[in-house]
Amino acid sequence: MKSETYIDTMMPQPAVIRKIVWDTEDTFSLTLEPGGGDDCAFRFLPGQFNMLYVLGVGESAISISSDPSKQSSIVHTIHRLGFVTSALSRLKRGDIIGLRGPFGAGWPMDKSKGMDVCIITGGIGLAPLRPVLYSLFRNRKNYGRIILLYGARSPLDMLYRVELEQWSKLPDVNILVTVDHGDSSWKGHIGVVTKLFSYVDINALQTIAMICGPEIMMRFTIQELRQRAVPSEQIFISMERNMKCGIGLCGHCQCGPKFVCKDGPVFALPQVSHLLEKKEI
């Protein structure tokens, strides 16, 4: 961002929709070209999000799902849910939306150096972790094994199928996918994502775990990691709360002393484990 002032961070900048790809029946990826000033390079950290604004409708927090090393365009993968995400889904190539960001603290890429990285995710939760995967693969020698456990509702609900297939062929990469409901073509795992733990070897002290998905899934995943003795401070989760300002001003996303928009959305488990016991506070 060019300025740290609140006025700038509250002011949506125009971004042009360059490409729209439907990943599944209800989830699509928008490629945006931010055009908010002289310096058009858009720099972000894996795990950060933008506020996307549809004129006359409203704003939503959406994670950036593209490769952080590519700064001339950015991708957001969006699950069509309510007013704003449905309005976004009706836009066309060449349309302009408002964009504020990037906001929030990202995933612990530095802390992960020299460690194995185990990513556990469900549904749209894979989107904020795709920039992590791009970064890990780009700087491969800095990290140990890469494990991805991913759960989708059905084979047709799986995101980024082509990339998952390509990544699974790389050395020292273990990608396991499960679905809640298979179909006649599905030969893979069926069941909740935590079942996949029985197929991987986790070296507890050597592992950083990154989790993003529905809160219930995150709770059970944390239990599994604890049973395998992964230290709490090596477990990171992405919290989702309703957001308005995105910069720690309005209090909408406040959880006790923490603002999810500013201090998160990614937190080390010891910072938020007490909050996970309460639903959507």
Our finding on whether 248 is near ligand FES (CB under 6 A) is yes
When CB distances are held under 5 to 8 angstroms depending on the partner's kind, the choice from ligand FES, ligand FAD, none that residue 108 binds is none
SS3 content of the chain, % helix, strand, coil (to 5): 30, 30, 40
Q: How far apart are CA 114 and CA 106, in angstroms?
A: 18
Our finding on whether 82 is near ligand FAD (CB under 6 A) is yes
Alpha helices for the chain (secondary structure H)? 6-10, 83-89, 130-138, 161-167, 215-227, 260-263, 269-272
Q: In sequence order, what are the beta bridge partners of 63?
A: 49
Our finding on whether 250 is near ligand FES (CB under 6 A) is yes
Q: Is 7 helix (H, G, I), strand (E, B) or coil?
A: helix
Q: How far apart are CA 222 and CA 212, in angstroms?
A: 11
Our finding on whether 259 is near ligand FES (CB under 6 A) is yes
Our finding on whether 68 is near ligand FAD (CB under 6 A) is no
Our finding on whether 148 is near ligand FES (CB under 6 A) is no
When CB distances are held under 5 to 8 angstroms depending on the partner's kind, the choice from ligand FAD, ligand FES, none that residue 248 binds is ligand FES
Q: How far apart are CA 52 and CA 44, in angstroms?
A: 15
Residue 145 C-beta: closest distance to ligand FAD, Å:
26
Query: Strand pairing of 254-255 and 189-190?
Result: unpaired
Binding-residue pattern over the window 262 to 281 for ligand FAD, x denoting contact by CB under 6 A: ---x----------------
Q: Which of 32, 261, 266, 275 binds ligand FES (CB under 6 A)?
A: 261
Residue 166 C-beta: closest distance to ligand FAD, Å:
22
Q: How far apart are CA 239 and CA 244, in angstroms?
A: 15
Q: Which of 133, 212, 230, 245 binds ligand FES (CB under 6 A)?
A: 245
Q: Which of 243, 255, 272, 275 binds ligand FES (CB under 6 A)?
A: 243
The residue with tokens 């858009």 is 42
Our finding on whether 78 is near ligand FAD (CB under 6 A) is yes
**Minimum CB distance to ligand FES smaller for 149 or for 247:** 247
Our finding on whether 51 is near ligand FES (CB under 6 A) is no
Strands (E), the chain: 13-22, 27-34, 49-54, 58-63, 74-79, 96-103, 116-122, 146-152, 173-179, 189-190, 207-212, 235-238, 254-255, 258-259, 266-268
Q: Is 201 helix (H, G, I), strand (E, B) or coil?
A: coil
Q: Which of 6, 22, 83, 199 binds ligand FAD (CB under 6 A)?
A: 83
Contact 68, 44 (CB under 8 A): yes
When CB distances are held under 5 to 8 angstroms depending on the partner's kind, the choice from ligand FES, ligand FAD, none that residue 77 binds is ligand FAD
Residues within the interface to ligand FAD (CB under 6 A) = 49, 60-63, 77-79, 81-86, 124, 127-128, 240-243, 265
Residues within the interface to ligand FES (CB under 6 A) = 243-246, 248-253, 259, 261
